[in-house]
Amino acid sequence: MRTSDLPQRISRRLLQDIAAGSIRAGQHLGAQQLADRYGVSRTPIREAMNILAESGFLIREANRGYFVADPDPKALSAQLDQQPASLNDAYHKLAEDWLTGRLPEEVTEQHLRQEYEWSKSWTNDILVRATREGWAERKEGYGWRFLPVANTPESFDEIYRFRMAIEPAAMLEPSFELNRQILSEQRRIQESMLEMDFSAVPAESLLKNGSLFHEELIKLSGNPYFLMALQRVNRMRRLMEYRAEINHDRLVEQCTEHLEILSLLEAGNIVDASYRMRQHLSGALKRKSPLAWNWAADNDPGHNKQAAP
Protein backbone atom coordinates (compact mmCIF):
# COMPACT_ATOMS: atom_id res chain seq x y z
CA MET A 1 0.00 0.00 0.00
CA ARG A 2 1.35 3.44 -0.81
CA THR A 3 2.07 5.77 2.12
CA SER A 4 -0.10 8.41 0.42
CA ASP A 5 -3.13 6.15 0.91
CA LEU A 6 -3.08 6.74 4.67
CA PRO A 7 -4.40 10.34 4.63
CA GLN A 8 -7.25 9.20 2.37
CA ARG A 9 -8.17 6.46 4.82
CA ILE A 10 -7.95 8.85 7.77
CA SER A 11 -10.15 11.37 5.96
CA ARG A 12 -12.71 8.63 5.42
CA ARG A 13 -12.72 7.63 9.08
CA LEU A 14 -13.07 11.27 10.08
CA LEU A 15 -16.02 11.66 7.72
CA GLN A 16 -17.61 8.53 9.20
CA ASP A 17 -17.33 10.00 12.70
CA ILE A 18 -18.83 13.29 11.51
CA ALA A 19 -21.68 11.39 9.82
CA ALA A 20 -22.29 9.36 13.01
CA GLY A 21 -22.34 12.48 15.18
CA SER A 22 -19.42 11.61 17.45
CA ILE A 23 -17.60 14.62 15.97
CA ARG A 24 -19.97 17.58 15.82
CA ALA A 25 -20.44 20.58 13.55
CA GLY A 26 -18.36 23.56 14.69
CA GLN A 27 -15.96 21.39 16.69
CA HIS A 28 -12.30 22.41 16.63
CA LEU A 29 -10.01 19.61 15.44
CA GLY A 30 -6.46 19.45 16.70
CA ALA A 31 -3.84 17.36 14.92
CA GLN A 32 -2.64 15.65 18.11
CA GLN A 33 -6.21 15.01 19.26
CA LEU A 34 -7.00 13.18 16.00
CA ALA A 35 -3.62 11.41 15.96
CA ASP A 36 -4.46 9.93 19.37
CA ARG A 37 -7.99 9.06 18.22
CA TYR A 38 -6.89 7.16 15.11
CA GLY A 39 -3.53 5.84 16.31
CA VAL A 40 -1.35 7.54 13.69
CA SER A 41 1.16 10.37 13.54
CA ARG A 42 0.20 14.01 13.01
CA THR A 43 1.54 14.18 9.44
CA PRO A 44 -1.21 12.05 7.78
CA ILE A 45 -3.75 13.78 10.04
CA ARG A 46 -2.79 17.18 8.64
CA GLU A 47 -2.99 15.83 5.09
CA ALA A 48 -6.40 14.30 5.80
CA MET A 49 -7.70 17.59 7.18
CA ASN A 50 -6.42 19.38 4.08
CA ILE A 51 -8.31 16.89 1.90
CA LEU A 52 -11.56 17.48 3.78
CA ALA A 53 -11.07 21.25 3.82
CA GLU A 54 -10.72 21.23 0.04
CA SER A 55 -13.96 19.22 -0.15
CA GLY A 56 -15.78 21.68 2.12
CA PHE A 57 -16.29 19.33 5.07
CA LEU A 58 -13.81 21.22 7.25
CA ILE A 59 -13.19 24.95 7.53
CA ARG A 60 -9.67 26.26 8.01
CA GLU A 61 -9.37 29.52 9.92
CA ALA A 62 -6.12 31.49 9.99
CA ASN A 63 -4.22 31.10 13.28
CA ARG A 64 -7.02 28.93 14.69
CA GLY A 65 -6.87 25.67 12.75
CA TYR A 66 -9.62 23.41 11.44
CA PHE A 67 -13.30 23.32 12.37
CA VAL A 68 -16.04 20.94 11.27
CA ALA A 69 -18.40 22.53 8.75
CA ASP A 70 -22.16 22.19 9.15
CA PRO A 71 -22.59 18.78 7.46
CA ASP A 72 -24.91 18.18 4.54
CA PRO A 73 -26.11 14.56 5.03
CA LYS A 74 -26.49 13.96 1.29
CA ALA A 75 -23.04 15.32 0.53
CA LEU A 76 -21.52 13.25 3.32
CA SER A 77 -23.19 10.11 2.05
CA ALA A 78 -22.09 10.79 -1.53
CA GLN A 79 -18.49 11.42 -0.44
CA LEU A 80 -18.35 8.22 1.61
CA ASP A 81 -19.76 6.25 -1.31
CA GLN A 82 -17.03 7.61 -3.59
CA GLN A 83 -14.12 6.83 -1.30
CA PRO A 84 -12.63 3.32 -1.45
CA ALA A 85 -13.27 1.09 1.53
CA SER A 86 -10.95 -1.70 0.42
CA LEU A 87 -8.80 -1.71 3.56
CA ASN A 88 -11.92 -1.74 5.69
CA ASP A 89 -13.23 -4.69 3.67
CA ALA A 90 -9.94 -6.54 4.10
CA TYR A 91 -10.04 -5.94 7.86
CA HIS A 92 -13.55 -7.35 8.10
CA LYS A 93 -12.53 -10.32 5.95
CA LEU A 94 -9.76 -11.16 8.41
CA ALA A 95 -12.15 -10.71 11.34
CA GLU A 96 -14.78 -12.93 9.73
CA ASP A 97 -12.22 -15.68 9.08
CA TRP A 98 -11.13 -15.56 12.73
CA LEU A 99 -14.72 -15.60 13.98
CA THR A 100 -15.60 -18.63 11.88
CA GLY A 101 -12.49 -20.69 12.65
CA ARG A 102 -10.82 -20.36 9.26
CA LEU A 103 -7.62 -18.97 10.79
CA PRO A 104 -5.22 -20.61 13.25
CA GLU A 105 -4.67 -18.95 16.61
CA GLU A 106 -1.10 -17.99 15.70
CA VAL A 107 0.05 -16.70 12.31
CA THR A 108 2.93 -14.91 10.68
CA GLU A 109 2.66 -11.81 8.53
CA GLN A 110 4.09 -13.84 5.65
CA HIS A 111 1.26 -16.36 5.99
CA LEU A 112 -1.36 -13.60 5.84
CA ARG A 113 0.31 -11.91 2.89
CA GLN A 114 0.28 -15.17 0.94
CA GLU A 115 -3.23 -16.17 2.04
CA TYR A 116 -4.88 -12.84 1.18
CA GLU A 117 -2.41 -11.46 -1.39
CA TRP A 118 -1.81 -8.33 0.71
CA SER A 119 1.22 -6.06 0.64
CA LYS A 120 3.52 -5.84 3.65
CA SER A 121 2.32 -2.37 4.69
CA TRP A 122 -1.34 -3.33 4.12
CA THR A 123 -0.94 -6.42 6.33
CA ASN A 124 0.73 -4.37 9.04
CA ASP A 125 -2.04 -1.73 8.98
CA ILE A 126 -4.73 -4.40 9.40
CA LEU A 127 -2.91 -6.16 12.25
CA VAL A 128 -2.30 -2.84 14.01
CA ARG A 129 -6.03 -2.11 13.82
CA ALA A 130 -6.88 -5.59 15.12
CA THR A 131 -4.47 -4.98 18.02
CA ARG A 132 -6.04 -1.60 18.76
CA GLU A 133 -9.51 -3.17 18.80
CA GLY A 134 -8.37 -5.87 21.18
CA TRP A 135 -8.41 -9.17 19.29
CA ALA A 136 -4.79 -9.57 18.14
CA GLU A 137 -1.37 -9.15 19.71
CA ARG A 138 2.21 -9.45 18.57
CA LYS A 139 3.98 -12.51 19.97
CA GLU A 140 7.28 -12.15 21.75
CA GLY A 141 9.86 -12.80 19.10
CA TYR A 142 7.98 -13.56 15.90
CA GLY A 143 4.43 -13.74 14.62
CA TRP A 144 0.97 -12.75 15.80
CA ARG A 145 -1.64 -14.27 18.08
CA PHE A 146 -5.42 -13.83 17.71
CA LEU A 147 -7.28 -13.44 20.99
CA PRO A 148 -10.64 -14.87 22.13
CA VAL A 149 -13.72 -12.98 20.97
CA ALA A 150 -17.45 -13.53 21.30
CA ASN A 151 -18.00 -15.95 18.43
CA THR A 152 -20.78 -18.14 19.83
CA PRO A 153 -24.30 -17.35 21.06
CA GLU A 154 -23.29 -18.56 24.51
CA SER A 155 -20.30 -16.19 24.81
CA PHE A 156 -22.39 -13.32 23.45
CA ASP A 157 -25.06 -13.94 26.12
CA GLU A 158 -22.43 -14.24 28.85
CA ILE A 159 -20.97 -10.85 27.92
CA TYR A 160 -24.37 -9.17 28.19
CA ARG A 161 -25.06 -10.84 31.53
CA PHE A 162 -21.69 -9.64 32.76
CA ARG A 163 -22.55 -6.12 31.65
CA MET A 164 -25.90 -6.38 33.46
CA ALA A 165 -23.92 -7.13 36.61
CA ILE A 166 -21.34 -4.33 36.41
CA GLU A 167 -22.94 -1.35 34.63
CA PRO A 168 -25.91 -0.79 36.97
CA ALA A 169 -23.66 -1.50 39.97
CA ALA A 170 -21.12 1.10 38.83
CA MET A 171 -23.77 3.81 39.17
CA LEU A 172 -24.25 2.85 42.84
CA GLU A 173 -20.57 3.11 43.76
CA PRO A 174 -19.81 5.56 46.61
CA SER A 175 -17.37 7.31 44.27
CA PHE A 176 -19.97 7.78 41.49
CA GLU A 177 -20.09 11.46 40.52
CA LEU A 178 -22.18 13.14 37.85
CA ASN A 179 -20.33 15.06 35.15
CA ARG A 180 -22.73 17.42 33.38
CA GLN A 181 -20.37 17.93 30.45
CA ILE A 182 -20.21 14.19 29.73
CA LEU A 183 -23.97 13.84 30.07
CA SER A 184 -24.56 16.80 27.75
CA GLU A 185 -22.20 15.45 25.09
CA GLN A 186 -23.77 11.99 25.19
CA ARG A 187 -27.23 13.55 24.90
CA ARG A 188 -26.08 15.49 21.84
CA ILE A 189 -24.73 12.32 20.17
CA GLN A 190 -27.84 10.25 20.93
CA GLU A 191 -30.22 12.97 19.75
CA SER A 192 -28.23 13.48 16.55
CA MET A 193 -28.44 9.73 15.87
CA LEU A 194 -32.23 9.89 16.03
CA GLU A 195 -32.16 12.55 13.32
CA MET A 196 -29.67 10.90 10.95
CA ASP A 197 -30.14 8.57 8.01
CA PHE A 198 -28.72 5.32 9.43
CA SER A 199 -28.28 3.86 5.94
CA ALA A 200 -25.75 6.58 5.12
CA VAL A 201 -23.53 5.85 8.14
CA PRO A 202 -21.15 2.85 8.41
CA ALA A 203 -22.34 0.25 10.90
CA GLU A 204 -19.11 0.38 12.89
CA SER A 205 -19.55 4.12 13.53
CA LEU A 206 -23.06 3.54 14.89
CA LEU A 207 -21.84 0.68 17.08
CA LYS A 208 -18.95 2.81 18.32
CA ASN A 209 -21.41 5.49 19.46
CA GLY A 210 -23.32 2.87 21.47
CA SER A 211 -20.15 1.58 23.13
CA LEU A 212 -19.00 5.13 23.85
CA PHE A 213 -22.27 5.91 25.66
CA HIS A 214 -21.82 3.01 28.08
CA GLU A 215 -18.10 3.59 28.59
CA GLU A 216 -18.55 7.29 29.33
CA LEU A 217 -21.24 6.54 31.92
CA ILE A 218 -19.24 3.82 33.65
CA LYS A 219 -16.32 6.26 33.95
CA LEU A 220 -18.47 8.30 36.32
CA SER A 221 -18.15 5.50 38.88
CA GLY A 222 -14.65 6.76 39.65
CA ASN A 223 -13.47 3.13 39.64
CA PRO A 224 -11.13 2.51 36.69
CA TYR A 225 -11.57 -1.27 36.90
CA PHE A 226 -15.22 -1.01 35.88
CA LEU A 227 -14.15 0.88 32.75
CA MET A 228 -11.31 -1.53 31.95
CA ALA A 229 -13.65 -4.52 32.22
CA LEU A 230 -16.32 -2.93 30.03
CA GLN A 231 -13.84 -1.86 27.36
CA ARG A 232 -12.46 -5.39 27.22
CA VAL A 233 -15.82 -7.10 26.73
CA ASN A 234 -16.95 -4.43 24.26
CA ARG A 235 -13.96 -5.31 22.10
CA MET A 236 -14.78 -9.00 22.38
CA ARG A 237 -18.37 -8.56 21.14
CA ARG A 238 -17.64 -5.90 18.53
CA LEU A 239 -16.62 -8.22 15.73
CA MET A 240 -19.84 -10.23 15.84
CA GLU A 241 -21.97 -7.08 15.96
CA TYR A 242 -20.17 -5.69 12.91
CA ARG A 243 -21.64 -8.61 10.97
CA ALA A 244 -25.22 -8.09 12.14
CA GLU A 245 -27.57 -6.11 9.93
CA ILE A 246 -28.31 -2.61 11.25
CA ASN A 247 -31.99 -2.38 12.11
CA HIS A 248 -33.52 1.13 12.11
CA ASP A 249 -36.22 0.38 14.66
CA ARG A 250 -33.75 -1.26 17.04
CA LEU A 251 -31.38 1.71 16.82
CA VAL A 252 -34.19 4.16 17.51
CA GLU A 253 -35.21 2.10 20.54
CA GLN A 254 -31.62 1.97 21.76
CA CYS A 255 -31.10 5.73 21.42
CA THR A 256 -34.44 6.44 23.10
CA GLU A 257 -33.52 4.26 26.07
CA HIS A 258 -30.10 5.92 26.30
CA LEU A 259 -31.82 9.30 26.49
CA GLU A 260 -34.14 8.04 29.24
CA ILE A 261 -31.10 6.97 31.30
CA LEU A 262 -29.48 10.37 30.72
CA SER A 263 -32.65 12.16 31.85
CA LEU A 264 -32.69 10.19 35.10
CA LEU A 265 -29.03 10.99 35.76
CA GLU A 266 -29.50 14.67 34.92
CA ALA A 267 -32.34 14.78 37.45
CA GLY A 268 -30.12 13.17 40.08
CA ASN A 269 -32.16 9.94 40.20
CA ILE A 270 -29.14 7.65 40.33
CA VAL A 271 -30.89 4.57 41.72
CA ASP A 272 -33.62 4.80 39.08
CA ALA A 273 -30.97 5.26 36.37
CA SER A 274 -29.18 2.13 37.61
CA TYR A 275 -32.41 0.13 37.42
CA ARG A 276 -33.19 1.52 33.96
CA MET A 277 -29.69 0.57 32.79
CA ARG A 278 -30.28 -3.03 33.85
CA GLN A 279 -33.62 -3.06 32.00
CA HIS A 280 -31.92 -1.59 28.93
CA LEU A 281 -29.17 -4.23 28.87
CA SER A 282 -31.65 -7.03 29.49
CA GLY A 283 -33.74 -5.84 26.55
CA ALA A 284 -30.65 -5.52 24.37
CA LEU A 285 -29.69 -9.11 25.18
CA LYS A 286 -33.12 -10.36 24.12
CA ARG A 287 -33.03 -8.31 20.90
CA LYS A 288 -29.45 -9.04 19.87
CA SER A 289 -28.97 -12.64 20.94
CA PRO A 290 -31.07 -14.08 18.07
CA LEU A 291 -29.09 -11.97 15.61
CA ALA A 292 -25.84 -13.30 16.99
CA TRP A 293 -27.14 -16.86 16.90
CA ASN A 294 -28.41 -16.61 13.33
CA TRP A 295 -25.12 -15.14 12.16
CA ALA A 296 -23.08 -17.85 13.88
CA ALA A 297 -25.32 -20.59 12.50
CA ASP A 298 -25.16 -19.20 8.97
CA ASN A 299 -21.37 -19.27 9.08
CA ASP A 300 -21.04 -22.66 10.76
CA PRO A 301 -23.02 -25.32 8.87
CA GLY A 302 -22.24 -27.88 11.57
CA HIS A 303 -23.79 -25.81 14.32
CA ASN A 304 -26.85 -27.40 15.90
CA LYS A 305 -29.62 -24.81 16.02
CA GLN A 306 -31.56 -26.90 18.54
CA ALA A 307 -28.87 -26.09 21.09
CA ALA A 308 -29.70 -22.41 21.01
CA PRO A 309 -30.69 -21.02 24.43
First to last CA, the chain: 45
What is the fold of 5-82? Arc Repressor Mutant, subunit A (1.10.10)
pLDDT confidence of residue 172: 97
Question: Cβ of 33: how many Cβ atoms within 10 Å?
Answer: 13
pTM of the predicted model as reported, rounded to 2 decimal places: 0.68
**Which residue pairs from 220-228 have beta carbons closer than 8 angstroms and sit at least 24 positions apart in sequence?**
220/170, 220/171, 220/176, 220/177, 220/178, 220/179, 220/182, 221/170, 221/171, 221/173, 221/175, 221/176, 222/173, 222/175, 222/176, 222/177, 223/170, 223/173, 223/175, 226/166, 226/167, 226/170, 226/173
One fold for 5-82 and 86-146: yes
User: What CATH code is assigned to 153-301?
Assistant: 1.20.120.530
Q: Which residue has the higher pLDDT, 138 or 291?
A: 138
pLDDT confidence of residue 199: 67
What is the identity of the amino acid at 307?
Answer: A
Q: Where are the domains of the chain?
A: 5-82, 86-146, 153-301
**Which pLDDT tens digit goes with each residue over 25-70?**
889 999 998 888 887 888 889 999 999 999 889 999 988 899 999 8
What is the fold of 86-146? Arc Repressor Mutant, subunit A (1.10.10)
pLDDT confidence of residue 290: 45
**Which pLDDT tens digit goes with each residue over 259-301?**
999 999 999 999 999 999 999 999 988 876 544 444 444 444 4
pLDDT (average), residues 204-218:
88
